[in-house]
Amino acid sequence: MTRDLEEFRIISLPEEAFYIADFISEREEEHLLQKIVSAPLPRWTHLSHRRLQSWPSALTKTNTLLESPLPPWLKSPIVEPKFEELGIFKNAPHGAPNHVLINEYTPGQGIMPHEDGAAYHPLVATVSLGSPIVLDLYEKSRQDEPNAECENPTGRKPQFRILQERRSLLVTRGRLYTDFLHGIAEIDRDEDLEPHSICNWSLLRGEDVSHKNSYARGTRTSLTYRDVLKVAKMGNTAKFLGGK
């Protein structure tokens, strides 16, 4: 049965975002984490503040994805049937996500406020695993543009905060994608968790933060599903890798 994404809208945000607390089961979460940690070491890219995997591959220098299917464990049950039931990517150019970025954040790690940029259709669906974390949102100012990766807005507090629980789904689209920066603070503990400060409070499952104003972070892994706009068939690989 098709579910209505509107049931999960974060109504306190000025633009479109949706949050589902119990998007996957504990067994599904455990299976996904096992698949991620058992991936071959070359699959991991190590950055200064986190490590990540790109599936089916990283984008080329021209922001092009080489055509290849997602592995079955990243498609079922998340894309098929859960995304399909909600119609999340039905209006995207390819009708389904074709790229997944997996980020692992240990306590104290995060990512500077940034935008995902024009390589993707303006829609992001993120599944959180392992531990909750707070996502900070900042409306872009003139000084932030046109950089895809922006420096931390010094002294600027986030305008909105979204608490992403383990096993949850967060969908952002439209202006919330194009006109806002998002980031994760590099801290060991998320604090000030109250209805007035967390904009998706009414949609939370709550067991991870109930009766608490804060919690110590654990290792959180995110699966970010997107639709890359430019896709090249494998026969054209040389063209998109800089060949002639």
Q: How far apart are alpha carbons 218 and 132 in whole angstroms?
A: 8
Q: How far apart are alpha carbons 132 and 149 in whole angstroms?
A: 24
Which residues, 6 or more positions from 24, have their beta carbon under 8 angstroms from its beta carbon? 32, 77, 78, 82, 127, 167, 169
Mind listing the pLDDT tens digit of every residue in the chain (244 residues)?
457 999 999 999 988 999 999 999 999 999 999 999 999 999 999 998 899 999 999 999 999 999 999 999 999 999 999 999 999 999 999 999 999 999 999 999 999 999 999 999 999 999 999 999 999 999 987 555 544 444 445 467 999 999 999 999 999 999 999 999 999 999 999 999 999 999 999 999 977 665 678 999 999 999 999 999 999 997 655 454 444 4
Q: Report residue 14 CA to chain centroid gap.
A: 19
The answer to whether 16 touches 174, Cβ cutoff 8 Å, is yes
Q: Report residue 119 CA to chain centroid gap.
A: 15
Number of helical (H) and strand (E) elements in the chain, helices listed first: 5, 15
* Closest C-alpha to 171, from 109, 122, 221, 120: 122
The answer to whether 179 touches 139, Cβ cutoff 8 Å, is yes
Q: Quick check: pTM over 0.85?
A: yes
The single residue listed with the structure tokens 């090249």 is: 232
